[in-house]
Every structure is written in C-alpha cells, then in structure tokens.
Chains A and B, each alone.
Chain A
C-alpha cells in the first residue's frame, strides 16, 4: 500500500476515534445523571455529592447558588430531610426519576450540557405525599477522563399534594420569595442567577441548545 494511501486511512481512523469518543461521552453523561437520581432515591447523599466537581455549583429554584462540593453535600442533606445517611428513615419516600435527557457535548469534548425532566414522589408516611415536577439544565465537565457534574441548575415546577394534585396550587406572589424552608439557616454563596414563578404560572426553563432542525433559539 502506498504510504500516502496509508496516511489517508490513518486520518480517517483518527476522525473515527474522535466520533466514537463522543458516543461514549454521551452515554457516560447520561449514566452520571441517572446515577445521581438512583443515589437520591435511597438516601445516598455522599455518593450523590461525589458526582460533582470540586468547584461545582448547585442552584435550585430561587434558593441561590451554592458553590463547592462540600457545600453541595450539606445542601443536599438539608433539602432531603436532614439525616446523614446513607439511607432513609422509616416512612420517608424520596423517588427522583431522571427522565428525557437532551445532551449536548462541546466541540472539544471536554464540557457538555444536559436538559432533563424530573418526576418525583415525595412522602412521609402518615403525614404527606406529593408529586414533584421540574426541569434540569446542567453543565458537565470531563476531568482526567471522568465526567462530573460542573453545575446543577434545577427548575422545580411544582410540588403538589397527592390529594387534589397540581390543581390545588396557588400562584407564588413574590417571585424571589419562595425559597426552600429547609435552607432558611443556610444562605447561598451567591444570589439566584434568575428568579421565576413556578406552576400555576408558566415558566420556560431556558434551553441550552438550539432547535434541532431550524438551528434557532427557542423560547426566548
């Protein structure tokens, strides 16, 4: 085989190796977020927070931005009932379904973004049961060949009581004032990047990606 022909084939293989890597990255990022959900289900807070990069951020609703893995760990514990885990106490239900991923990997293959739809079942036996609905727009980063959550942004849409469901929810009056009660004594490192009113108001969490066919921005 002439050397130039060999060179040509080698270049095609290089391109293929890059393409294949992107397919593997896509699956690895989906695995990462799904693993996050399965850990939360069972009260494995440390396993969940270990999925974040050291300098990652976490922002939920209008609670503000919490920075750094250890702060995120404390935050997850506070938001989930306060027990240190691993495990849930008698009577707590904490099912966090991670659904419908749209993953976009940067050209250089080192960062990515993902939109997810969460369906949740919260409960305290004998007391309360709720359905949860929300959207994630997260950022991911590859460090030393391992994908980590670099920024988690969760937009809760509702937490609705089982009895009567979402039809019973009243609008939020103060757009910045519906902070999670569990975080009253745990202020964020930075104010919220944006405020919004959840259901029954209509809020469109910004899309990180352009329309798959037209290439245009959607929902802005």
Chain B
C-alpha cells in the first residue's frame, strides 16, 4: 500500500513538473519572439540574430533561406546599418501567438502575425503577414530554430491595400541566400495559405494526457498534489481558450469557413455587428459562406481579422470561460469597399469532454471606415439583419450605434484590482452635453 502511494505520488508530481515546465516554456517562446520584434523595430540586428540557434534558418517573404546566426545577422542588415537612421521606421507589432510546446518540452512551434509600419526615404508603407516558426530548448535556454515569415500584404501608405499593393522583393543579389525560397508565392493581389502547424483545435486530434494512478483521498500530500493539478489545469484552460479565439481569427483571415464552423457546436451562437443571432454550427457556416463569400482565400481580397489583447476568465469549476478581445480588421477587395475595422468581442467558451469550444461569439463593432478617407471623415454604420443575407435566427440581443457614436459592451470581469464591477456609462456618453453635469457612479 505504502509503495503504491509512493508510486502514485511520484507519477503525479513528475507530470506536474513537466506540465508547469511546459507552461514556463510557453512564456519563454513568447519572450523570444516578442524580443525579436522589439529588436527588429530599432534595427538591433545583432541582438535579433543572437536569438537564433547555431544552425537556425531565417526566411522572410521571397528572400530565400539564410542558415546560421552569422548569415541571419547579415540578411537582417540588408535592411540598413545597425540602428536605424533618422526617418527610418521598422515597426513590427507581433501578436496572436498560437504556441505548441512539444510533449517532451524540448521543441516548440508557433504561428504569429506581424503588422509592420515602415518608412524609408520619406515613403511610408504598411505590411502584414504570418509567421510559422520553430524553437528549440537548449539546456533550458529557448532559441529560435527556424523563422519563416509569409507576407500577406505590403502597401503604399497613401493608397492602401488592394489599390497600393507593393510586391515582395526577390532574393538579394548582393547577399544571395543559402537556399532558394522554400515556397514560391506572391502577396496581395495574390493569396496564399501558409500551412497551420496545428490541427483544428476542436475537431483535430487532441493532445494526449497520460493516465495517472489514482490518489488516495485521505493523504495530505495527495490533497496538495490535487490542488496544484487543478491550478495547472486552469492555466491550460486559459491557454486553450486563447488558442481557440486566435485560431478563429486565422481561419477567418483565409475564409476557411468549414474550420471556422468546426470551432462551434450544435447549440453555439454567433452574433457579429448588428446582424442578429445565428444558432448552431450549420447556421454559422451559412453566415460565413452566404454572407461573406466562397470558401478559401480569393485573389484581390483581404479579410484579416486580427485577434488582439485577450482577457480570458476561466470559471472556478473549469467548465466555462469568458473572453474579451479586439479584432483589428484589414478588409476589402477590388470589387467592394476597402476598410479598416475595429471590433470588440465578449465571448463565451465551453468545455465539452475536455475540449474547449466556442459557445457564444458576440462581436460588437466599434468603428469601420474607408481606407481612402479615415475615421474622421467617413464611418460605416453598424450592420443590420437585412444588411446582407442570410437573415438571422434571432433578432439582435442588443441594438447599438458604432463610431462616431458610443457604445460600451459590458466588461465580463470585475476590475482586477478593486474586484468591483464597472458601472454603466455616464448618461451623456455619446452626446455633446457636459458629462460633468450628469451623475456618475464611476468613483
């Protein structure tokens, strides 16, 4: 009996050690890739190259492949000398990670995206694209093993995407790469789907959990183990919900409607803008396919739905969760409006047989504007059930106006410091009356 207890405790503690170490690795990979972006922002090429493993590879757009940190440093420096000159801008907002740490905690893969703001020789441009990178844990230090950035779009600031597309540079002639591009493709107006390193988070194969021996109910150490296991599981739950939401965004980007619908179940709901409520997976698929166009990325079209700044709150029992997010939308095509969109989500997630699924997707719009004009000149009103087909199953749960008007979707979480719920907005919010003349409960 004593031996059985010891073995059971040993097995559980070893699993906890690995589980917690993998979470620490998740953080390390975040630090690594975000640091790469902070260094690239300022032309700190040496610091950026030092993030790579000895035999790592680096590939940006159609640059071809550079092998080893010395060659990567040289390739980065093609952009310009170490540090940037006055007027040069090289911003890389690097976001929306889906990080998969291997079960043995020795390697990892991640999908990310960067929004890039450039300025060179007085000419401003933007870009956006996807990373599919790999990482290696060398004696406890995580390094980038391969970086592959797929350019989705580059555009002239003054003209916008679709009308001001800039094509990717071919491989450098002054510093030819060690290998040609691994995949040949072109950015907008062409489209390309960089392969996802992970299966669909709901319908795909699930990570296997080891079966552990049962723990006795009356042992103090066993109780401690179980308490830690629950806490670790809540962290894993949060990470799973983040992955679900980010995967949703990456699928919408490329009009992968079947994969989008697969994140929902039969009694899930979807409500976007003012279009009303769609019930169940099948109607989600109709909303996307009938309302937004054919499946798969379409030439001369971009529908980036970038998922940023998630606050995920998992319930104490680990069965449900909520999430507040923003979507930063780069949308449009040669046959329809080209617009910036800024949206919010207050979503519900649910765990079914160990798998987190979308329970209620609720996405109020904040602001949509035409690229050519900007939000100070033109804003697109909120959508309505009749804005485009198909009609909803249920009327909108809330009717509100978008910018320049004001609407605040209630926060699902109390203030992280005071633990109090935020009050409703001041009655004068959205109007021109002086808010100070109206009672406010914000103190």
Tell me whether B408 and A42 are in contact (CB under 8 A).
yes
User: When chains A and B are docked, how far (Å) is the Cα of A201 from the Cα of B88?
Assistant: 8
* Chain A residues closer than 8 Å to B310, beta-carbon distance: 34
Q: Given the known inter-chain contacts A165-B124, A212-B28, A213-B141, please indicate yes or no for A27 contacting B235, CB distance below 8 A.
A: yes
Determine if B193 is an interface residue (Cβ-Cβ < 8 Å). Answer: no
Determine if B85 is an interface residue (Cβ-Cβ < 8 Å). Answer: yes
Report the count of interface residues on B (CB-CB < 8 A): 102
User: When chains A and B are docked, how far (Å) is the Cα of A103 from the Cα of B28?
Assistant: 10
Q: Given the known inter-chain contacts A43-B429, A99-B95, A211-B35, please indicate yes or no for A202 contacting B117, CB distance below 8 A.
A: no
Question: Contacting chain A: which of B2-10, B178-186, B202-210, B253-261?
Answer: B2-10
Question: Contacting chain A: which of B280-288, B330-338, B384-392, B418-426?
Answer: B418-426
B6, B115, B404 — which one has the most chain A CB atoms within 10 A of its CB?
B404
Complex interface residues of chain A between 163 and 220 (CB less than 8 A to chain B): 163-167, 171, 199-202, 204, 207, 209, 211-214, 218-219
Q: Given the known inter-chain contacts A95-B366, A167-B124, please indicate yes or no for A125 contacting B342, CB distance below 8 A.
A: no
Tell me whether A115 and B38 are in contact (CB under 8 A).
yes
CB nearest neighbor in B for A98: B309
User: When chains A and B are docked, how far (Å) is the Cα of A18 from the Cα of B429?
Assistant: 45
Complex interface residues of chain B between 409 and 439 (CB less than 8 A to chain A): 411, 413, 415-418, 422-426, 428-432, 434-436
Tell me whether B95 and A100 are in contact (CB under 8 A).
yes
* Chain B residues closer than 8 Å to A212, beta-carbon distance: 28, 31-32, 35, 51, 141-142
Q: Given the known inter-chain contacts A87-B408, A166-B124, please indicate yes or no for A202 contacting B442, CB distance below 8 A.
A: no
CB nearest neighbor in A for B220: A10
* Chain A residues closer than 8 Å to B374, beta-carbon distance: 129, 162-163
Q: In the complex, which of the residues A23, A39, A84, A103 contacts B20, with contact meaning CB atoms closer than 8 Å?
A: A23
Tell me whether A164 and B158 are in contact (CB under 8 A).
yes
Tell me whether B426 and A50 are in contact (CB under 8 A).
no
Q: Given the known inter-chain contacts A28-B416, A86-B426, please indicate yes or no for A44 contacting B27, CB distance below 8 A.
A: no
**B229 vs chain A, min Cβ distance (A):** 10
Q: Given the known inter-chain contacts A119-B115, A219-B44, please indicate yes or no for A9 contacting B221, CB distance below 8 A.
A: yes
Determine if B198 is an interface residue (Cβ-Cβ < 8 Å). Answer: no
Tell me whether B442 and A199 are in contact (CB under 8 A).
no
Tell me whether B435 and A89 are in contact (CB under 8 A).
yes
Tell me whether B27 and A35 are in contact (CB under 8 A).
no
* Chain B residues closer than 8 Å to A42, beta-carbon distance: 406, 408, 425
Binary contact readout B355-381 vs A (1 if CB under 8 angstroms, 0 otherwise)? 000000000001100000011110100
Q: In the complex, which of the residues B326, B403, B440 contacts A125, with contact meaning CB atoms closer than 8 Å?
A: B403
Determine if B167 is an interface residue (Cβ-Cβ < 8 Å). Answer: no
Binary contact readout B31-49 vs A (1 if CB under 8 angstroms, 0 otherwise)? 1101101110111100100
Determine if B123 is an interface residue (Cβ-Cβ < 8 Å). Answer: yes
* Chain B residues closer than 8 Å to A16, beta-carbon distance: 13, 16-17, 20, 228
**A28 vs chain B, min Cβ distance (A):** 7
Q: In the complex, which of the residues A9, A99, A128 contacts B376, with contact meaning CB atoms closer than 8 Å?
A: A128
**A65 vs chain B, min Cβ distance (A):** 21
Q: In the complex, which of the residues B9, B20, B28 contacts A9, with contact meaning CB atoms closer than 8 Å?
A: B9
* Chain A residues closer than 8 Å to B212, beta-carbon distance: none
Tell me whether B93 and A99 are in contact (CB under 8 A).
yes
**B198 vs chain A, min Cβ distance (A):** 21
Determine if B232 is an interface residue (Cβ-Cβ < 8 Å). Answer: yes
Tell me whether B232 and A20 are in contact (CB under 8 A).
yes
Tell me whether A202 and B84 are in contact (CB under 8 A).
yes
User: When chains A and B are docked, how far (Å) is the Cα of A88 from the Cα of B23?
Assistant: 39
Q: In the complex, which of the residues B122, B417, B442 contacts A148, with contact meaning CB atoms closer than 8 Å?
A: B417
Tell me whether B13 and A13 are in contact (CB under 8 A).
yes
CB nearest neighbor in B for A96: B309
* Chain B residues closer than 8 Å to A13, beta-carbon distance: 13, 221, 224-225, 228
Determine if B63 is an interface residue (Cβ-Cβ < 8 Å). Answer: no
User: When chains A and B are docked, how far (Å) is the Cα of A46 from the Cα of B28?
Assistant: 34
Determine if B83 is an interface residue (Cβ-Cβ < 8 Å). Answer: yes
Q: Given the known inter-chain contacts A1-B5, A6-B221, A38-B311, please indicate yes or no for A88 contacting B416, CB distance below 8 A.
A: no
B16, B309, B405 — which one has the most chain A CB atoms within 10 A of its CB?
B309
Binary contact readout A120-147 vs B (1 if CB under 8 angstroms, 0 otherwise)? 0101111111010101000000000011
Q: In the complex, which of the residues B122, B309, B377 contacts A97, with contact meaning CB atoms closer than 8 Å?
A: B309
Q: List 23 A-B contacts (CB under 8 A).
A: A1-B2, A22-B24, A41-B366, A44-B422, A46-B442, A85-B435, A86-B426, A87-B430, A89-B428, A93-B403, A97-B309, A99-B308, A101-B30, A117-B93, A123-B403, A127-B376, A146-B416, A166-B124, A167-B122, A201-B86, A212-B142, A213-B141, A214-B50
Having A86-B422, A167-B119, one finds 7 other A-B pairs with CB under 8 Å, namely: A20-B20, A26-B27, A34-B310, A44-B408, A85-B435, A207-B38, A219-B44
